[in-house]
């Protein structure tokens, strides 16, 4: 039992790295198993198909990222400070990835959205749910900042979508130029989108 669980984890880990590096379509089950060091028969013991594997990779990635977002966005700091921390942690995460594998990998969900949403309805559905959840988490912080008079937006949902879109767009450019400094302006962009005063040195404080 210990060994079987281990094989499943090895397959998932290999798939996560390979999808991050080369996308989904370019991969075959044989290559995933070879990288994982498990026999091909194991694959179909754990996963019905390559699509089922991709969905599991997405779910596990989101489970981890969701916990990180909740920790930051439900923290005790002032709402705008929590948003700022979200962008800073995103930048730090992309930088750590670049240092370990040489290239900025970008956002797994954004990558798969552009690669797969017109090919797999199951993947599209899962990614829609993830981005909807991200927007809801950001929206609740924006609404809190609005209640404190710190931002001036007329539609908190639209504002939250604009923030997540800006994040995805800038992460795309960080990947394209293999340069995490591209994420530096996220905080100033966020304040502008929310109609908040321009960044000040003290803005990070609660």
CB 115, min distance to a second copy, A:
5
Q: What is the largest CA-CA distance in the chain?
A: 59
C-alpha–C-alpha distance, residues 188 and 197, integer Å? 9
> At 23, is the secondary structure helix, strand, or coil?
coil
Question: Which of 90, 162, 180, 187 touches a second copy by CB under 8 A?
Answer: 162
Q: Which is nearer to a second copy, 37 or 195 (CB)?
A: 195
Q: Single out the segment in contact with a second copy by CB under 8 A; choices: 42-50, 72-80, 86-94, 186-194.
A: 186-194
> How open is the CA angle 60-65-71, to the nearest 5 degrees?
135
Q: Is 96 in the site for a second copy (CB under 8 A)?
A: no
Question: Which of 75, 166, 203, 204 touches a second copy by CB under 8 A?
Answer: 166
Contacts of 158 (CB under 8 A, 6+ apart): none
C-alpha–C-alpha distance, residues 145 and 91, integer Å? 23
Token digits for 126? 């899962």
The answer to whether 31 and 43 have CB atoms below 8 angstroms apart is no
Q: Hey, which residues between 116 and 155 contact a second copy (CB under 8 A)?
A: 116-119, 124, 127-128, 131, 154
Q: Hey, which residues between 63 and 92 contact a second copy (CB under 8 A)?
A: none
Question: Which of 65, 90, 170, 180 touches a second copy by CB under 8 A?
Answer: 170
Q: Which is nearer to a second copy, 6 or 155 (CB)?
A: 155
């Amino acid at each position: 039992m210990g060994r079987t669980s281990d094989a499943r984890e090895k397959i998932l880990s290999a798939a996560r790295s390979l999808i991050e590096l080369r996308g989904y379509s370019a991969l075959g089950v044989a290559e995933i198993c070879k990288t994982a060091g498990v026999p091909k028969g194991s694959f179909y013991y754990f996963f019905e198909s390559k699509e089922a594997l991709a969905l599991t990779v997405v779910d596990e990635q989101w489970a981890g990222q969701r916990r990180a977002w909740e920790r930051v966005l439900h923290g005790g700091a002032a709402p705008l400070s929590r948003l700022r921390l979200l962008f800073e942690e995103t930048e730090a995460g992309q930088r750590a990835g670049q240092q370990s594998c040489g290239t900025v990998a970008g956002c797994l969900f954004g990558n798969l959205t552009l690669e797969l949403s017109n090919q797999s309805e199951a993947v599209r559905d899962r990614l829609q749910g993830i981005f909807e959840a991200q927007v809801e988490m950001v929206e609740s912080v924006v609404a809190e900042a609005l209640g404190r008079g710190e931002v001036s937006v007329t539609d908190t949902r639209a504002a939250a979508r604009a923030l997540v879109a800006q994040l995805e767009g800038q992460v795309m450019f960080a990947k394209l130029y293999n340069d995490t400094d591209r994420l530096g302006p996220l905080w100033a962009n966020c304040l502008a989108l929310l109609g908040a005063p321009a960044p000040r040195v003290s803005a990070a404080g609660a």
